[in-house]
Amino acid sequence: MIARVTLEIALRREFDYAIPPELAGQVEVGSRVKVPFGPRQVMGCVTAVLEDTAITRTHLRSLIKIVGTQSLVTPRVLALARWIGGYYCCAPELALKSVLPEAVRREEDGWRERLFVRALPAPAEMPKLTPRQAAVGSIINEWRELPLRRLLTLTGATAETVRKLEDRGLITIAPEVDERDPYARDHILPSKPLVLNPEQDRALETILKAMEASPRLPRAPDGAEGEPTGPRPKPVPHVFLLHGVTGSGKTEVYLQAIAHALERGQGAIVLVPEIALTPQTVERFKARFSSGPHQTLVAVLHSHLSTGERHDEWHKIRQGRARIVIGARSAIFAPVEPLGLVVVDEEHESSYKQEETPRYHARDVAVVRGQMEGAVVVLGSATPSLESYHNVQRGKYSLLELPHRADDAKMPIVRVVDMCQEMRLQKTPPIFSNRLKEAITQRLEKHEQTILFLNRRGYSSSLQCPKCGYVAQCPNCSISLTYHRAAQQIVCHICNHQAAAPTVCPDDKCRNPAIRYSGLGTERVEDTLAKLFPHARITRMDSDTMKRKEDYRRILNDFRAGKIDVLVGTQMIAKGLHFPNVTLVGIIHADLSLHIPDFRAGERTFQLLTQVAGRAGRGEVEGEVFVQSFTPFHAAIQYARRHDYAGFYEQEIEFRRQLRYPPLSHIALLTLKGRNEEKVQFFADHLRKELEKKLSAPVAPGAPSPFPDLILAGPAPAPLARAETFYRYQIMLRTSLMTKLSRRLADLVPHLTLSEDVTLAVDIDPTNLM
């Protein structure tokens, strides 16, 4: 027998190894193995077990050993990794790496073991004990079982005393796995299903019907041999887009659909954007499934866990003890089997896209995984991505709508303030319009809370000399430095370059002391606010003030407890937070995201405004939102004001259609970077010529071109032309045939001759065009 193995070193192919007789029958698809490679020994993962291979047996080297007892990758997750490698144009071993967390892949890390003390049944004849031993013995009897260390701190006894009890045959001391639980300290009260309103009920019923219609795939036997894509019942694809306004009770629909999956003996994966992984979100899931008829462990996977915690959470899933997983992007690879349901909450979030190889989009991977495993997929959002809504329009997904807030709360009133007019009223360029100031005053008087949103941290966005025109630029990146007043520093928001803030113009000939800071950030909003309202309790929440993990939690708790009147923040406060006493939301500068050079700027602005506005009026008092803008009639702002998603979609899709941007096409973005600009440009030109030759030429003479609708643009300097000392050039390809184009690119890229100091990154369906 022969094992095909992908190695954990960057090589774009798989290798065959002979399975030695002593390992026969033990090697499975997904086994982790140590193999010889040149003079070294490296780790790899078995992707197939084969009878025969093209290479004759004499040339094959043998596996050295199997690492670990259980195969880590199930055949189904392996199939998913293959799909990712193919579609996102990356080497198989890189795709495989991303489906297995580092904490699980590493050989050294494992379960943590601790010594446990356990009481044994009392012997017929009680041995003689010292008073001390007797006291410790009776405490052990009370607990039945506890960690040795715990016992020692509890009783103040020495290990010696406890050993004596073991010698007398009264107790045992043995190592035992001690599971790490990242949420062990939380006290979570169980919750019961709510009675759904008719809209929620209709949505749930439709989802349940689809679950009933999909075949129940059996749990694949561990290490099923051969190609994991073998014949099996054809799964019915069922993807739903749950479009529900903020506060419409989408989460309750997810919870009840998950309960149904558990009833069917299936598990579920819930993806949430990293930023929404507040204790609140996790709590809601744990609370529902910690007891009752559907009791199961809920595993949590996200970047704030320690390596050990991640290891344990993952294995709880692999062992089938945790049937529900809630996590960020990479949780889509969790080994839940059989999988009945995948939920992608806030599906429009760009954090689902991984910005390093493999550059996969977790929402799209979720849809593919659902299809492969016959699981129902629910994509939820108040502001669906144009991609998903378009998929509804063309019949690929089914639409479920929750147009009203669940608890009958009204949608907030949104007022757009024309800041050009304000400029004329107030002499200096204002941060707060008079109407917003008035509204804040009223809330302070009524003891209601306010959220102010600005998507830029720091004090000022740039430092400029009005006399000589000097602007403080990052030495490594093509952007200006942001002034942070508290720290008295100018900082680059791309590479984090920091320098002391100058007090005079640094230009030797100028030395103007009247150097000016222009543009604004959250720090300045907070400062100005404190001057306007000296008695208000104001707190700022952005990545500058959130230094430690607990900061986030502490501030939100204080806000909930009413210890804060006004919360100022960046997108950190835009989503998912639910505070009944917030009746006012102010968006300081709504145009900020409109003018970035990205065809999605309008869509992002619409989403952001709608999400931020959704924080207002979640309680009994109706909410009010002020949107300050210099372009108040922009479509994104006007449709957001009217809570009109469909209207926004109609005009935006027309714009995309005319320019053939996604979702009317797919993009492959090729970025070349290097420290020598001329070299980067040279290779970018060379790449363009290669692409023209290879992609537009028909496969055979007279045959039609393989990519009839291909649009090739560039090379051009990237919008962020230089970052972290690297110059960047881009070529953009647009086509409707992306699967085919990826395959072509994968063949082409390894054969390109690039200079050693110029690198090429391929991004399929990019969300970040900078």
Tell me whether residue 492 or residue 732 sits nearer to Zn ion (CB atom).
492
> Biggest alpha carbon distance in the chain?
100
**CA-wise closest residue to 456 among 486, 428, 493, 417:** 493
- Smallest separation, CB 727 to Zn ion (Å): 13
Q: Residue 406: name its binding partner from ligand ADP, Zn ion, none (Cβ under 5 to 8 Å by kind).
A: ligand ADP
Nearest to 716 by CA among 745, 693, 685, 754: 685
Residue number, 720 or 754, with CB nearest to Zn ion: 720
What is the full DSSP assignment across 100-133?
S-HHHH-SS----EEEEEEEPPPPSSPPP--HHH
346 binds, among Zn ion, ligand ADP, none (CB under 5 to 8 A by kind): none
Nearest approach in angstroms of CB 476 to Zn ion is 4
To Zn ion, the closest distance from the beta carbon of 728 in angstroms equals 13
Nearer to Zn ion, 617 or 674 (CB): 674
- Residues forming contacts to ligand ADP in the complex (CB under 6 A) are 194-197, 200, 244, 246-252, 406-407, 578
Nearest-CB residue to ligand ADP? 249
Minimal distance in Å, beta carbon 493 to Zn ion?
Answer: 8
Residue 474 touches which of ligand ADP, Zn ion, none (Cβ within 5-8 Å per kind): Zn ion
The entry of ligand ADP, Zn ion, none near residue 248 (CB within 5 to 8 angstroms by kind) is: ligand ADP
3-state secondary structure of 360: coil
Q: How far is the CB of 408 from ligand ADP (least distance, A)?
A: 8
Per partner kind, with CB cut-offs from 5 to 8 A, the member of Zn ion, ligand ADP, none near residue 225 is none
> CA 647 to CA 354: how far, in whole Å?
30
Among residues 290 and 768, whose Cβ is nearest to Zn ion? 768
> Cβ 482 to Zn ion, closest distance in Å?
10
Of the pair 154, 196, the CB lying nearest ligand ADP is at 196
- Which of Zn ion, ligand ADP, none lies near 264, with the C-beta cut-off 5 to 8 A by kind? none
Helix H or strand E segment including 29: none
Q: Which does 194 bind (CB under 5 to 8 A by kind): Zn ion, ligand ADP, none?
A: ligand ADP
What is the nearest approach in angstroms of ligand ADP to the Cβ of residue 638?
A: 23
Give the nearest distance from C-beta 729 to Zn ion in angstroms: 18
Q: Which is nearer to ligand ADP, 406 or 636 (CB)?
A: 406
Distance CA 167, CA 739 (A): 68
Q: Could you say which of ligand ADP, Zn ion, none residue 476 binds, taking C-beta under 5 to 8 angstroms by partner kind? A: Zn ion
CA distance 498 to 518: 18
Closest of 629, 639, 570, 562 to residue 607, by C-alpha:
639
For 725-758, letters b (16+ CB in 10 Å) and e give ebbbbbbbbbbebbeebbebbbebbeeeebeeeb
Nearer Cβ to Zn ion, position 275 or 495? 495
Segment holding 202, helix H or strand E:
helix 198-213
Residue 188: contacted member of Zn ion, ligand ADP, none (CB under 5 to 8 Å, by partner type): none
Q: Which does 247 bind (CB under 5 to 8 A by kind): ligand ADP, Zn ion, none?
A: ligand ADP
- 141-156 burial, b for 16+ CB within 10 Å, e for fewer? eeeeebbeeebbeeee
CB-nearer residue toward ligand ADP: 288 or 673: 288
CA-to-CA distance for 547 and 597, rounded, in angstroms?
A: 31
The nearer residue to Zn ion, 378 or 474, going by C-beta atoms, is 474
- HSE value, Cβ hemisphere, 13 Å, CA-based, for 686: 15
Please enumerate in sequence order all residues whose Cβ is within 8 A of that of 461, keeping only pairs 6 or more positions apart, or say none.
480, 482, 483, 518, 519, 520, 521
* 238 closest CA partner among 410, 40, 370: 370
Residue 194 CB, nearest approach to ligand ADP (Å):
4
- β partners of residue 269: 325, 342
Q: Least CB distance from residue 736 to Zn ion, whole Å?
A: 37
| Partner that binds at residue 494, options ligand ADP, Zn ion, none, CB closer than 5 to 8 Å by kind | Zn ion
Compare residues 471 and 713 and give the one whose CB is closer to Zn ion. Answer: 471
Residue with tokens 């506890």: 146
| Strand pairing category for 113-119 and 171-177 | antiparallel
* Closer residue to ligand ADP, CB minimum distance, 85 or 247: 247
- Residues in the chain, overall count: 770
Least gap, CB of 283 to ligand ADP (angstroms): 12
Q: Where does this chain bind Zn ion (CB under 5 A)?
A: 474, 476-477, 492, 494-495, 497
What is the CB neighbour count within 10 angstroms for residue 22? Answer: 8
Which is nearer to ligand ADP, 274 or 418 (by Cβ)? Answer: 274
252 binds, among Zn ion, ligand ADP, none (CB under 5 to 8 A by kind): ligand ADP
Residues 6+ apart with CB under 8 A from 22: none
The phi, psi pair for 116, rounded to 5°, reads: -115, 140
- What is the chain's alpha carbon radius of gyration, rounded to the nearest angstrom? 30
User: Could you tell which of ligand ADP, Zn ion, none binds residue 18, using a CB distance below 5 to 8 A set by kind?
Assistant: none
Q: Identify the sign of the CA torsion 391, 394, 397, 402.
A: positive
- Least separation in angstroms between residue 245's CB and ligand ADP is 7
Q: How far is the CB of 261 from Zn ion (least distance, A)?
A: 47
Q: Quick count: other Cβ atoms within 10 Å of Cβ 537?
A: 15
Listed in order, strand segments (DSSP E) in 631-685 are 666-674
Minimum distance from residue 618 beta carbon to ligand ADP (Å):
7
Nearer CB in complex with ligand ADP: 194/697: 194
DSSP string, 220-243: PPTT--S-TT-----PPPEEEEEE
CB of 719: closest distance to Zn ion in angstroms?
Answer: 15
Which entry of ligand ADP, Zn ion, none binds 200, CB below 5 to 8 A by partner kind?
Answer: ligand ADP
- Of ligand ADP, Zn ion, none, which one sits near residue 492, judging by CB under 5 to 8 A according to partner kind? Zn ion
Between 232 and 497, name the residue whose CB sits nearer to Zn ion. 497
Comparing CA positions, the residue from 10, 37, 27, 28 lying closest to residue 96 is: 10
Q: Which residue lies nearer to ligand ADP by CB, 492 or 613?
A: 613
CB 249 within 8 A of CB 193: no
Q: How far apart are CA 375 and CA 31, in angstroms?
A: 25
User: Is omega for the bond preceding 335 within 30 degrees of 0, making it cis?
Assistant: no
